[in-house]
Amino acid sequence: MTDLAGWKVLVTAGGTREPIDPVRYIGNRSSGKMGNAIAVDAAARGAMVTLVTTMDPADFDGAVVRVETAAEMADAVWSRLAEQDVVVMAAAVADFRPTATHTTKLSRSDGPPVIVLEPAPDILAGVVERNHGAFIVGFAAETGSLARAVEKAVAKGVDLLLANDVLAEGSGFGTVTNQVTVIMPDGTTDPWPLVSKAEVASRLWDLVADLRSRQD
């Protein structure tokens, strides 16, 4: 199937790592599998795909930009935004980062360090602010209720949001399956069944192709 031929697509994947010192970082449990599957499926369907990821890509032969921090991911995404038709923000990005990175390893003998945090760049907000016509897909990882995800879908300026409950069986970080709920900018929701991440990716591209064809 080459229904995405001619599309330029950028996908973010993985969890950012915000360094404390050369050895430690503040990170999260994202495996990058969902974003990777979305990039792989888009490429298989003929899109020209750029995968901005913190993880080693699997089964993907498009362009890869490896990053660590939210700031690096922000640069990678914002600098490539103008060329894109679709941007999918599947990465789990730090909301806060240490104000300073120690240049040498903190030592136990110095006692517990005080780590002061500051906001990390909000990449999605920057994408929406700079956007000139790309179709934007956001993600929301929630724990329990999806009520906040509905608020995010309405407030963030995305074209659609995929929400999942990371505490639900089969949907947590690192799983090969996922149960997502699609939320439209008007707040309407469509829960998809628990399926493989590859199947979520395929359904996502079917939906985006359908929604974009109606925008033309």
Residues in contact with ligand CTP by CB under 6 A are 70, 89, 91, 93, 95, 120, 122-124, 138-141, 152
Shortest Cβ distance from residue 121 to ligand CTP (Å)? Answer: 6
Q: Is 28 a catalytic residue?
A: yes
20 contacts 26 by C-beta, under 8 angstroms: yes
Cα 144 from chain centroid (whole Å): 20
Q: Which is nearer to ligand CTP, 41 or 142 (CB)?
A: 142
DSSP state string for 42-74: HHHTT-EEEEEESS---S--SEEEE--SHHHHH
What are the beta bridge partners of residue 136?
Answer: 87
- Min dist CB 10 to ligand CTP, Å, is 12
Sheet hosting strand 160-165, strand order edge to edge: 63-66, 48-53, 8-13, 86-89, 135-142, 160-165, 180-183, 189-191
- Closest approach of ligand CTP to the CB of residue 129, in Å: 12
Q: How many CB atoms lie within 10 A of CB 131?
A: 17
Q: How far is the CB of 51 from ligand CTP (least distance, A)?
A: 14
Query: Between 151 and 190, whose beta carbon lies closer to ligand CTP?
Result: 151
Decide whether 106 or 166 has the Cβ nearer to ligand CTP. Answer: 166
CA dist., res. 195 & res. 69, Å (int): 30
Catalytic residue from among 28, 36, 164, 178: 28
Between 99 and 213, CB nearer to ligand CTP: 99
Provide the annotated active-site residues: 28
